[in-house]
Amino acid sequence: MPQDIVPLKRALISVSDKTGLIDFARALDARGVEILSTGGTAKALREAGLTVRDVADVTGFPEMMDGRVKTLHPAVHGGLLALRDNAEHMAAAASHDIGMIDLLVVNLYPFEETVAKGASYDDCIENIDIGGPAMIRAASKNHAFVTVVVDVQDYPAVLAELDANDDATSYGFRQRQAQIAYARTAAYDAAVSGWMAQAIGDEMPRRRSFSGTLAQPLRYGENPHQAAAFYRDGSDRPGVATARQWQGKELSYNNINDTDAAFELVAEFDPAQGPAVAIIKHANPCGVARGATAIDAYRRAYDCDRTSALGGIVALNTALDAETARAITEIFTEVVIAPEASDEAREIFAAKKNLRLLTTGGLPDAAAPGLAFRQVAGGFLVQGRDNGHVGRADLKVVTQRQPTAAELEDLLFAWTVAKHVKSNAIVYARDMATVGIGAGQMSRVDSTRIGKRKSEDMAEALGLAQALTIGSSVASDAFFPFADGVEALAAAGAKAVIQPGGSMRDAEVIAAADRLGLAMVFTGQRHFRH
């Protein structure tokens, strides 16, 4: 049976991240704890005036092979693994002069950081820690007697535990630390295996792992009865995980999900070609537009569906300025995310205490490869991030009528937006702004009708003579299986259509477009989004 309280008399400290190291070691030394150490850690401790015993003195072997071999020795692992209440274990330790180690403090070589910096294959390999994970696993397995620390943020907790137990640790504390340690080595191995699969071009490795570090617990998930938390995966992709939050209450599960959807959409539009704004509700766009200025783009996006925009997420591909900030505060908005925000814009938002403002310092690369995964019963699905893109050169005109230059611009704009709309997706666009969006319906015809009706409702609200779908260009995320979808678009007033093509009834659909006077182009690329 594990002992509940174990005195802490001897510690082995070997860390890559030396944040807080000296103060922590001094606190241990003041409690009479003997400190063993290695390499750069031992050097830093000695320079701080602390008494340190080299692990090499304990093992009888010098550090060798550029430090690859230093702690892989029975004198170390025996001190970590020996069961203190097992007479045979303690007799073996005594006969081989193996001292017990009560505390292991190890943080690992910075493999993840090395990969994130774009280091070479050889440099990444050299930053794979071997002795560290081995010691962590040994200490964690023997948490009945040994405390293990893998994160610098746990130093205060260790000292508080020692204060509470007369320089000893409790079993419950050691259990919690062991769990933290195993999670760290699991994440480390996941990072190594994932990187190596990518490095050798294995798109479907036999085993696949994902890991993350807790960013914040959340009040609940999609609904109040669901527990939830937000984890960061360590990547440097600009977005909600890397953003600075300037104000407002903590983001909710739905806030984070929707903000990510909004920023990934708006990042499709190059700021060098002008401002763009996306307004998102329930992970679907309710308005997207480009404009001469940010406020122009925002107004045009807002006018697509003012009703749905209430309580939505606003994303910009350029800096948030004061004029746009004032416009956004005219209605209730949950979150605004942008690469930057001016001081004046932040001051305007400060009057809206519940409005969250996030800045990211940049935009994610919409063309960058990556992985997406989703849980299913008994497993999970993994696929590449949808970084598909088509340009004018990729389009194939299949109808008698050629689209005009303006229609082509709107078609490509609508196509880009449709990539981020839940299937079945229909996006009406005019002058580089959405004017009607139908999302998430089981029938593509229904999505077509919903987009039309939303446009009609907005025309009435704005006092327009007719819905802006009349004369619009339309994108469909997948092919039309029957001519009825094209007929519904024509009824809505559309004049040009972009779609993947590839249906058994393409000829029937094209014939319907010709009969109705529509221009139609094929992309050869689908964008289902379930």
Mean of the pLDDT values across residues 16-27?
A: 95
Task: Confirm whether 262 is domain-assigned.
Answer: yes
141 assigned to active site: yes
The total domain count for the chain is 3
- Give residue 67's pLDDT: 65
Nearest Cα to 52, choosing from 107, 108, 105, 114?
105
Strands 473-476 and 426-430: antiparallel
Q: Is the pLDDT of residue 146 over 80?
A: yes
- Angle 131-141/171-199 helices, nearest 10 degrees? 150
Instruction: State residue 1's pLDDT score.
Output: 45
Q: Stretch 507-521: mean pLDDT, rounded? A: 97
20: left (phi over 0), alpha (psi -120 to 50) or beta: left
Kindly state whether residue 372 falls inside one of the protein's structural domains.
no
Are 275 and 173 contained in the same domain?
no
Q: What percent of the chain has pLDDT over 90?
A: 84
Average pLDDT over residues 196-223: 92
Instruction: Give the distance from CA 287 to its chain's centroid.
Output: 24
Say if CB 320 and CB 443 are below 8 A apart.
no
pLDDT on residue 58: 79
Residue 369 lies in a domain: no
For the chain, give the mean pLDDT.
93
**Catalytic residue (one of 9, 18, 89, 141):** 141
Report in angstroms the alpha-carbon separations of 115 from 36, 361, 433.
30, 21, 39
Whether residues 139 and 265 fall in one domain:
no
In this structure, are 144 and 44 located in the same domain? yes
Of the three residues 342, 359, 376, the one that is the final residue of a domain is: 359
| 394 phi, psi to nearest 5 deg | -85, -10
Measured CA to CA, the distance from residue 501 to residue 476 in angstroms comes to 10
Residue 380 counted as domain residue: no
pLDDT at 57: 74
pLDDT reported for residue 66: 67
Q: Are residues 77 and 159 in the same domain?
A: yes
Mean pLDDT along residues 206-231? 93
Whether 70 shows a pLDDT value over 80: the answer reads: no
Same domain as 292, residue 171: no
Q: Which helix (H) or strand (E) holds 99?
A: none
Query: Tokens standing for 44?
Result: 């830093």
Spell out where 219-332 has E strands: 228-232, 244-247, 276-281, 284-290, 312-316
Give the Cα separation of 124 and 414 in Å (integer): 42
Same-domain check for residues 118 and 73: yes
Q: The domain spanning residue 515 has which CATH number?
A: 3.40.140.20
Least confident of 23-27, 66-70, 135-139, 369-373: 66-70
Residue whose tokens read 């009969």 = 515
> Percent of the chain having pLDDT more than 70?
98
CATH of the domain at 92: 3.40.50.1380
Whether the predicted pLDDT of 90 surpasses 90: no
pTM of the predicted model as reported, rounded to 2 decimal places: 0.87
**CA dihedral defined by 338, 343, 346, 351, rounded to 10 degrees?**
-160
Q: Are 141 and 175 in contact (CB under 8 A)?
A: no
For the cut 80, the answer to whether the pLDDT of residue 3 exceeds it is: no
Q: What is the average per-residue pLDDT within 249-275? A: 96
Please report the DSSP string for 170-195 in residue order. EHHHHHHHHHHHHHHHHHHHHHHHHH
Looking at the domain assignment, is residue 455 inside a domain? yes
Give the pair of three-digit tokens for residue 499: 């779609």
Average pLDDT (464-493) is 95
Residue 324 burial class via C-beta count within 10 angstroms: exposed 0-12, middle 13-18, buried 19 and up: buried
Distance (Å, whole) CA 336 – CA 31: 50
List all residues 6 or more positions away from 144 whose beta carbon is below 8 Å from its beta carbon.
Answer: 2, 3, 83, 84, 171, 174
13 and 143 part of one domain: yes
Mean pLDDT over residues 378-399, rounded? Answer: 93
Residue 463 structure tokens: 């006092």
Same-domain pairing of 416 and 321: no
185 and 244 fall within a common domain: no
Q: Round the CA-based radius of gyration of the chain to a whole number and report it.
A: 30
Distances (CA, A) of 328 to 278, 296, 312, 352: 12, 12, 11, 11
Q: Specify burial of residue 523 (Cβ count, 10 A radius: 0-12, 13-18, 19+).
A: buried
For residue 235, what pLDDT band results from cuts at 50, 70 and 90?
confident
Q: How confident is the model at residue 234 (pLDDT cuts 50, 70, 90)?
A: confident
**Position 471, amino acid:** G
* Cα distance between residue 335 and residue 280, in whole Å: 10
Q: What integer is the mean pLDDT of 354-376?
A: 94
Domain with 415 in it:
393-522
Give the amino acid at 357. L
Query: Residue 530 domain-assigned?
Result: no
Omega before 424 within 30 of 0, i.e. cis: yes
What is the predicted pLDDT for the residue at 2? 53
Question: Rounded mean pLDDT of 210-229?
Answer: 94
What is the pLDDT, as a whole number, of residue 68?
67
**Both 420 and 511 in a single domain?**
yes
**DSSP reduced 3-state for 327:** helix
Whether 216 is in a domain gets the answer no
Same domain for 40 and 132, yes or no, is yes
Mark residue 311 as left, alpha or beta (left: phi above 0; alpha: psi -120 to 50; beta: remaining): left
Sign of the alpha-carbon dihedral angle for 359, 386, 497, 475: negative
Interacting residues of 442 by C-beta distance below 8 A, sequence separation 6+? 424
Q: Is 282 a catalytic residue?
A: yes
The structure tokens listed for 522 are 């094929």
Name the amino acid, one letter, at 468.
L
225 lies in some domain: no
In 3D space, the residue among 255, 260, 292 whose CA is nearest the CA of residue 276 turns out to be 292
pLDDT confidence band for 75 (50 / 70 / 90): confident
Distance CA 198, CA 154 (A): 33
Which is catalytic among the residues 282, 396, 454, 495? 282
Domain co-membership, 141 together with 264: no
